[in-house]
Amino acid sequence: MKVNSLLEAGIHEVKALYRGSSIYAPSSTTKSLKVLPAATHLSLMVSSSTIKVGEEAVAYVKLTDERGQPIQNAEILLYCGDALTAKGFTNSTGEAEIPFRLDSSGYKPVRAVYRGDANHVGVEGVEHINAKPLQTQLRIQAPSQAWKGGRVTYKILLTDELGRPVEGASMNVEISNRDMPIAKLSLRTDDHGTVEGIVNATMGGQLRISASYAGDRQYAPAEATCTVTVMDSSVIALMTVSLAGALGGVMAALLLRRGIFSSLRSSLSGGIGKKPIGEAAAKNCISCGRTIPIEAAFCDWCGSPQAAPSTGEGLAPPPQPQATPEGSIGEHGYASELDQRILSYIAEHRGEISLSRAAADLGVTREELLAAIDRLRRSGRLEPA
């Protein structure tokens, strides 16, 4: 006699009973039967063998017993190393799709674990995945130029490859000038992925700001460099002293400083070949109203330009500009076109310019600029303030 039965795992007593007949007496027997849990098989596949940190991947799991039958509603735990990363349950076909993310880079084992139950043995499957760190970018924001003796403010921004700020990242900042170290700092980014600082520009030259981020388990290293040109503070401060130049249409380059007009009153009250002006020949400034010489082109007190009088003795009409060779002064003291352009540039910058910047803006060499300034000075157009 053969009897089939599905038994739960464990120890069972199996009893056979014969009730007897008219010929045979009743009898029975009992046996102990140990039922072991069914063996199981788990297969694991990962959607990609290489991912970025924080990027979503999917683990595909299939769970069957030793006879190939699917095991339904089984809980599957997904581990990355020793950390529980995600979990899911098998469907009616014994399959599960479990999405997960990794928060650190490296070559890591991914384990899908089934702990088993009363009728099934626990089992696990292993796959490996390579998690690459997110690329990062460092950007330094600082002015391209600064004056010697001033302060340079800089801002450093650290972002990942998706443009998101990297918070709480430690970076090294080195500041130097002419290969001479000025400062070495260790700074940490704020909630916006930025750090800010100020450095004193104590010497002229190229101020170099370098930032480096060493990276971590999540982010790749990055570095950046920014150069600030520190211009020497010995800039040119010039002033026109020729009335003929002013009346001839040459723009004045006035440096408005206290007391400077008083010291140059005599030079501002006449032109080339000027003669003393009598005290009675006077007029009022059109700006401040104070008394000034009648032929003065600029007020001795406030520096305002004055309109030329329409009539009056002792004031000849100004000579008209004559075309002169480039880089020379005409017989009436008028500058060439180049010199006038340079004088106008100086006036536009209120008498203070940087030689290197002015040469670049005007399209001339430093030597040509210095020569033109010297010609204007010798002709009486400019005078060091």
Compute the average pLDDT of residues 238-253.
37
- Higher pLDDT residue, 45 or 298? 45
Coarse DSSP helix, strand, coil percentages of the chain, rounded to the nearest 5 percent: 10, 40, 45
User: Which pLDDT value is given to residue 312?
Assistant: 41
User: Which pLDDT value is given to residue 94?
Assistant: 95
Q: Which of 57-61, 202-206, 238-242 is predicted most confidently?
A: 57-61
Are the C-beta atoms of 203 and 230 separated by less than 8 Å?
A: yes
pLDDT at residue 226 is higher than 50: yes
pLDDT at residue 315 is higher than 80: no
Task: Give 321's pLDDT tier (boundaries 50, 70, 90).
Answer: very low
Least confident window among 7-21, 203-217, 252-266, 351-365: 252-266
Q: At what angle do helices 366-378 and 355-362 cross, to 10 degrees?
A: 100
What's the mean per-residue pLDDT of the chain? 78
Q: What is the pLDDT of residues 37-75, one digit of tens each?
A: 889 999 999 999 999 998 999 999 999 999 899 999 999
Alpha carbon of 339 to those of 165, 191, 251, 345, 373: distances in Å? Answer: 52, 54, 11, 10, 8
User: Which pLDDT value is given to residue 337?
Assistant: 82
Which pairing describes strands 50-52 and 40-46: parallel, antiparallel, or unpaired? unpaired
Alpha carbon of 69 to those of 62, 114, 154, 326: distances in Å? Answer: 11, 15, 67, 101
Of 157, 156, 158, 152, the C-alpha closest to 206 is: 152
HEC letters along 299-327: CCCCCCECCCCCCCCCCCCCCCCCCCCCC
Which pTM value belongs to this model?
0.50
CATH class of the structural domain 136-231: mainly beta
pLDDT at residue 375 is higher than 50: yes
In whole angstroms, what is the distance from residue 168 CA to residue 40 CA?
Answer: 47
Domain 40-132 has CATH 3.40.50.300: no
Q: Token digits for 355?
A: 């030689």
User: Which pLDDT value is given to residue 372?
Assistant: 85
Q: What is the pLDDT of residues 78-103, one digit of tens each?
A: 999 888 999 999 999 999 999 999 98
- Higher pLDDT residue, 146 or 383? 146
pLDDT at residue 28 is higher than 60: yes
